[in-house]
Amino acid sequence: MADNYQRIAENRKARHDYHIEETIEAGIALQGTEVKSLRLGRVNLRDSYAKVENGEVFLHGVHISPYEQGNRFNHDPLRVRKLLLHKREIRRLIGKTREEGYTLVPTKLYFKNGKCKVELALAKGKKLYDKRDAIARRDAERRARQAAGRES
């Protein structure tokens, strides 16, 4: 049976700024007006990151716009949100982020079977020369494809 999957937002800049080693799916503890804003697609993942604090994982810097009909029950757009993971996953993340210098970066936000999920990437930051190298490689591949297209 196929999962009911609906993408809300994607952090494309994360793939440019980080070497992504692996991804993990996590649930998010949200308030009601946040879910309504997410259903409208009013979210920004650009400068967000996740952090392990006191044996729990929290999502920082995700901007979910206030719901227009939310009145006094509206949420703080930049509040810290708890991520829902199993203890063994959290323990593994603690080891990776502390010892090996990895960062937790959210790459996607989506609804899966009616529940809001976030895809966390275990990533290492790229240096400036890595970014330039990736851009140069992409340009060379594009030129090669264009040259091959003209020859045919």
d(CA 17, CA 19): 7
The token duo for 61 is 């810097």
Domain range annotation of the chain: 7-126
CATH number of 7-126: 2.40.50.100, 1.10.150.120, 3.40.1110.10, 2.40.280.10?
Answer: 2.40.280.10
- Spatial neighbors of 90 by CB under 8 A, at least 6 apart, are 52, 55, 56, 57
Single pTM value for the model: 0.76
pLDDT by residue (tens digit) across 11-26?
Answer: 888 888 888 888 999 9
Spatial contact of 59 and 80, defined as CB atoms under 8 Å apart: yes
pLDDT by residue (tens digit) across 128-139?
Answer: 777 788 888 888
pLDDT by residue (tens digit) across 91-108?
Answer: 888 888 887 778 899 999
Spatial contact of 107 and 50, defined as CB atoms under 8 Å apart: no
Q: DSSP class of residue 127? A: P
pLDDT by residue (tens digit) across 36-48?
Answer: 888 888 898 888 9
